[in-house]
Structure 1
Amino acid sequence: MEFFGGIRPLLFSYVLINGIFITLQSKEEVLLDMRATGGELGWLTWPLDQVDKPGWEVVQKTLNGSQFYAYSVCNVGEPEQDNWLRTTFIQRRPSASRIFVELQFIVRDCNSFDASVPCKETFNLFTSESDADVGTTFRKGQFKKVVTIAPDEITSKNGMRINTETKVVDNLSRKGFYLAFQDIGACVALLSVKVYYKACTATVESLARFPETVAGSENQALREVKGECVENAQSEEVPRIYCTADGEWVVQVGHCQCKPGYEKVGDTCQECQPGFFKAASSDGKCEPCPANTQGLEAGAAFCPCMDGFYQAPTDPITGPCSGLPTAPRDLVATTTQLSAGKLLLSWSPPDDTGGRSDITYSVECQSCEGGACRPCGEKIRYEPASAGLTLTRVTVSELDAHLNYTFIVEAHSGVSMFAGQASARAHKPPSTSALTTSLHYTDPPKITSMTVIEKSVTSLSLSWDVSPRPRLHAPPIRYELTYRKKDDNLDVTTYTVLILEKSSVQISELAPGTAYLFRVQALSSDGSPGGSSIEEQYETLHERPFPPINTTAILAAAVGGAVMLFIVVVVLFLRRRKRNSHSRQGAEDNYFSSPEQLKPLKTYVDPHTYEDPNVAVLKFATEIHPSHITKQKVIGAGEFGEVYRGILKVPGRKDVAVAIKTLKPGYTEKQRQDFLSEASIMGQFTHQNIIRLEGVVTKFKHAMIVTEYMENGALDRYLKDHDGEFSSFQLVGMLRGIAAGMKYLSDMSYVHRDLAARNILVNNNLECKVSDFGLSRVLEDDPEGTYTTSGGKIPIRWTAPEAIAYRKFTSASDVWSFGIVMWEVMAFGERPYWDMSNHEVMKAINEAFRLPAPMDCPSAVYQLMLQCWLQDRSKRPRFGDIVSLLDKLLRSPDSLKTIADFDPRVSIRLPSTSGSDGSPFRSVSEWLESIKMSQYSENFTCAGIINMDQVLQMKNEDIKNIGVRLPGHLKRIAYSILGLKDQTSTLSVFAV
């Protein structure tokens, strides 16, 4: 039968005019291109010599003076067709184990032929590997089927449809291979065959050069490639990058930086020009030499200082250089306190600080006597210090009278150690701008302290200290001692005055057991009081060393103290009792709120109470015209049909992204009513943590429910995809949103019945919203507030025990489910109770088993979970209490730092059998599967870790080195290994 009948010439004209054979630029190494050959292909057809009904035929056309070849076969109507077309030998690059076959072809619609004619619309692709070209030898048994090729669009009598398909042939290992196409009775035109493999091209990334690398197979999705730094660049570690199976470079590890004295220019490192420098390996540019430095050569790592300029040891080598400070100015001595032996020196800062701000000063003192000067020594005192001064003044004390002093004030900076210091001097003669100060003491020294040396019943011996002490050959000092009895009646007080030449005295004939006030003062040379004085009180001894004790007074004091203590205790007890009474009445600080709660203004209405469910839909939901809805992409499948992402375009409103639930064709009227009842429920809710209903389509053939679009989808899947990426504070924030939504539902007297992480949706702001109201029911007005259902599926892992046993659902059973949701969130989407069966779950719960704390779960959060899982539902917290507690945790982030105890042995479901080595797992893959980490099986195998003994020796760094990067996955594997080390092969986690 002629290929496509009389349509064949028209077919190829269409192909050439529209230029269908366009070669796209990509990282592809072509091994065979049927279109680019431009000559006789020389492909083998089988069977040979079929004159009456030939198989594959070569078709030749001319385009712009070039030959164009294609193969076609069209033996429709002939039974048991088996026509083969084999390519020439295709040599393979040794490392290219995965090749791509791109086909362009046409398949004719079987409906265009007589209905009685046998016809197919597919053909098969085969491959055969070989180490050498076998020529024309052809045996079907050597070929292995790759895939059956079916067209996306078929060609009818009214128009041509060209299909493009790309198939993968993997795990090739020999020197070359053949491709073969088998026709089993279709009408096919093979227009183009292109065979290629993908490679990551040679590249320079972050100054690291990587060679061209053939992309790996699907089993080796990422192929690690080591690189080397370009010239004059260096790296702390060998730079590495990964080549994907699609021929793209991803995830570079380690990068190179230009060495000191070189800067990055494009993909090279070039020398810094003269006058510029770069001190360290970095990606930065060369910088101009700083002030007072010079860069004379290219490739400088730093610029040296100019002559006369310096850098301090603490200055960065990349900073400017500084000059020395000049001498301080205007040194002045103020002698207003000669009697105290003090001198105030002050001066002005240098005219030139050398460009530095770390200027300090030092003061040197010399004493001159008899024409000779020498250092003043340690006797002289400086306030605040003699060196390291930042202020331009200093007080000098402990100076001796009748001496001449010379003071030298020096200015220093961080570079002063490199040259002589500049100084300002105060010394004789005045012609050199020096200052000499002579001090002559005529006043007596001051009295510094007085002590009692000995005391008796009638006498006291006293002594006192003076400062400064008299010098040798100085005139003697006399003292005036005045004393009197300490008496309140000052009008009759008698003073006794003694003039002494020594700094001690013994006073006799004093009254026993009497206090006296003593005052001593130094006298001037003319006998008048001078200098400072000091007054002290001393008492003579009593004649009776142990006076009688007044027992009556002591007893009275003890009784009075006991009475006062009793009164204080009673007052404190009453105040505390009153405060506790007030605190129990406050809803803010109470963990469990009062059972008497105000009913909300709005109460949920069950749509099933309407005789006509369509009336409920019209009352609670907005009708949308289908023309306002644009479907874009299927994002899931619901109980009643597919779910799409789309756009809602309502006139007068901004376009919004929406999710569109559809009702699949062939539905019954009951299914339609059940489908729309969810909209009747959602339409009654208005809360930021409840999924928002945009409207419904009910007046047309295809019913739809339109809700707001949540970009991140279901919470459980989102957490699994981002395992370990969120802090406890962020996770608690998500839980707070869910709890707020459930509080709103509970306040409306509404029970959800199917609260689980899969039914919580997440948007781009990580805001969680409660959705899926398919199982929900209203609370009745009975005292217990329960709803009894006679049937329907119950999600065992999320359902409270009383709801499982008695089919009684309350807000308290929703609280139990919320506790499970808390566990899911803190465990990043882990399946509750792991791989336990529903029967095992129910049995374990009835035996008081509760889920253990997830890894890194705050203790306060886990304690709230346990409260939600109390067997007595009346003792579980209400959603209002839960919201308040979560708010408190969020307001005090430090409360989340205390982590609940984690037992890794309870976090995995151990199999009943064990390996021969005593491990609870027979293989590494079995262990990884049990902890839901099967995706890393190949990583362990490639690293040579093939048995559980090797696993038990691994540390955190070993786990990282084999390619486990996600923090959550790393923790799960590490904790599991820790648990395996502690347990025995007979350990049973759950008594079931």
Structure 2
Amino acid sequence: NYYSKFKRPLIKNVHQLFNRGVGSAVVHQVYTGGANKWEVIQRTLNGSQFYTFSVCNVGEREQDNWLRTTFIQRRPSASRVFVELQFIVRDCNSFDGASLTCKETFNLFTSESDADVGTTFRKGQFKKVATIAPDEITSKNELRINTETKVVENLSRKGFYLAFQDIGACIALLSVRVYYKTCPATVKSLASFPETVAGGENQALREVSGVCVENAISEELPRIYCTVDGEWVVPVGQCQCKPGYEEVEDECQECKAGSFKAEASGDKCTPCPANTQELDSGAVVCPCMDGFYRAPNDPPTGPCSGLPSAPRDLVATTSAGKLLLTWSPPEDTGGRTDITYSIECQRCEGMVCQSCGEKIRYEPAGVGLTDTKVSVSELDAHLNYTFTVEAHSGVTVLTSQAVPPANRPPSTNPPKITAMRVMERSSTSLSLFWDVKPRVHPRPIRYELTYRKKDDNLDVTTYTVLILEKNSVQIKDLVPGTAYLFRVQALSSDGSPGGSSMEEQFETSEHLTQNNTAVIFGVAAGGAAMLFIVIVVLFLRRRNSHTRQGPEDTYFSSSEQLKPLKTYVDPHTYEDPNTAVLKFATEIHPSHITKQKVIGAGEFGEVYRGILKVPGRKEVAVAIKTLKPGYTEKQRQDFLSEASIMGQFSHQNIIRLEGVVTKFKHAMIVTEYMENGALDRYLRDHDGEFASFQLVGMLRGIAAGMKYLSDMSYVHRDLAARNILVNNTLECKVSDFGLSRVLEDDPEGTYTTSGGKIPIRWTAPEAIAYRKFTSASDVWSFGIVMWEVMAFGERPYWDMSNHEVMKAINEAFRLPAPMDCPSAVYQLMLQCWLQDRSKRPRFGDIVSLLDKLLRSPDSLKTIADFDPRISIRLPSTSGSDGSPFRSVSEWLESIKMSQYSENFACAGVVTMDQVLQMKNEDIKNIGVRLPGHLKRIAYSILGLKDQTSTLSVFAV
């Protein structure tokens, strides 16, 4: 992610600084009216010679020596660059008689320009970037090289210069490296993203659009965010390989011969199923082999089925005036399980045979049978009856259209309509079905259906004619209790009538039959009986509640102490995670949600501010977490598991789940909206604006929420100020349950994980070492949150690395008290950070102690010891050698109070000696009103006085 990583000796006059080798820069001495003391010096280090730009004029006052680079061209999109310096600073104490004029710091400046100004140099055009102070000082006998990196922000012109100002130190400048950070060109989720220059602090996430790789598509434009550290995060709009292609190492390759993929997805190609043709590479579907079919409800990716063979062993027996037909299933079902049977009946008088019609009755039915027997009644005497049993499956109705002519024998006879029957009957509609023989034809069949009312009294008869593509129809808008005559005839390919026709009579049912009436009266009677039972039960429960209260009756008590203790249920224990979501979360229709503005980017997608308007409820502001498109089923389950967790909690200091959207394409989690956002950022933005009493009130709310969670046997594992949300009344609520897990029944139960990221700065030592998490480890994390709150959102452990943090904790180091932190609060922090977890307070104890502090505000007046020289909130109170700053503005900038430079100047406070004489009243009088800012400046002056007195002792 870093470019221009070249380090060359400055004596060569060419130092590769910027733009991936396109530009170069030369470091020059520049003159400001007097003699410039920078010079090239040859040095020896570890047996090797190298050259430096050096200056060492410590015996004279008011030194002002400058070095400046040549013009550095800037890549247009790189508004933020890093300047890495390697340098040596000599110890002032090693010079006899020069300790009062010697310095151990120098300054870095920058100046922007749209063109190279050559050797022209004007100090007024340069803006100070930072004061450079060494971490290690070189003595007479030992050479120590320092490395310092500073950031130059908000560059906007075509290029810039860097300059180095010496104010009286003994310095050797070894190398300068200027670079910017980029997110490298990459392919993520089959979307290609170009190399992108990382943004600055004012654009922490830079959105970048990408394009799908060849043979991949996406429903929405692929996007990703580039962080200030040159890392890609939160891809949105995943690309997926087209049908017939699968993902192979960030590419979409054709499915191999004999495999297929039917739709755009992240799935792999699969082998062609049974009874299908294996096509060449890139197949999107495998068609059925000759003689095999797929039913309308079969997936196009499933196997193909054959037709069932004929039923076997048909036997007819008579009993009690009825005919019982039984048979055996077909030997070959065609590979299907949806086998049904239909009965066809013909009666013959002499040589004439016709359909039995609707007169005879079949029990349970004449079509759609799943059992291998049927009872036939209402047969006439002295007639011959012929019964035919046919087996059907889901593909039977397709054979008239699906079988190619070349694969079946030609049919010379026109199709024959053999039977017509009613499938469903109501007061205003009839559903009809008719049999056709033969069932297999060389081309599709159409049918002409004609029907009319059976009414002999009318002189005029009205016919209705329908042309149908299949052998079934539902006819609506009929008259209740009326007989109709229906005639159906198959049509030839040219549309002319062909084959036989058949006419049958069917009747619609009455409006309300006697059976319907009986059912209605039965339902009404049952409802009345149920109502009576409910009234009796409620009466008995009410009467018993006055006599005694059992454990099950606590739900009816208004006392909070009588509420049952709930236990958290881990949604991961459900075999189907969707079941947990449905149990613990309310489903919301997307039409009730209005997205308004993107307010952040989460792990799974973007987070919006929006409005929830459910019918019958008041409109409320909500936060909407979305699941980015192209998700896997596991990602969806992980995303919704947080809702399954939140849905189990109900406490004013726990973020409230409004509901989820799971039954639609775009899954969402909807929570209450917290106007002030994350606690750490909110405190940083309002540094010094809250009194200790208000900060302790915030901590009390967080502790109450954590007590509720621990009482439910629940471990958070990621408690930090960034995961606490603040509303417009400054109420704090615990959120972000992504790392949480359930405790066992044992209060000391733990959750052990074999991997995963752990937030080191907030995590207890036993959880880091053994990955064992308890409520006691959450207490440790709460102690860090207390420190963050009292330090107004500062980063715990400064800029120490995670390894340094773990080493320091194991060596019993604990964070120092933040500035202006009440002693009682800091002592509670130290209790939370006890090495032995069994000795740490429980959240119930913490809530009780904070309540006592809030009831006695005087207990917060005693302030814990504070050393401004190691304060995290004061980056520097002086030069690293303890010498005073050269100017008031330089001192104010070091403590992040440069906004008051004009106040000091207008009050006539222009030297550091004057600053050292100021008291609290003087600071107030020049216009510093915020308590936090007032104390920061006062403590810094106190630290400067301590260091000045130390210098006096050394001077003596």
Please confirm whether the aligned pair reaches a TM-score higher than 0.5, indicating the same fold: no
- Band the TM-score falls in, shorter-chain normalisation: 0.3 to 0.5
Structure 2 length-normalised TM? 0.44
Give the structure with higher Rg (CA): 1
Higher relative contact order (CA 8 A, sep 6+): 2
Structure 1 length-normalised TM? 0.43
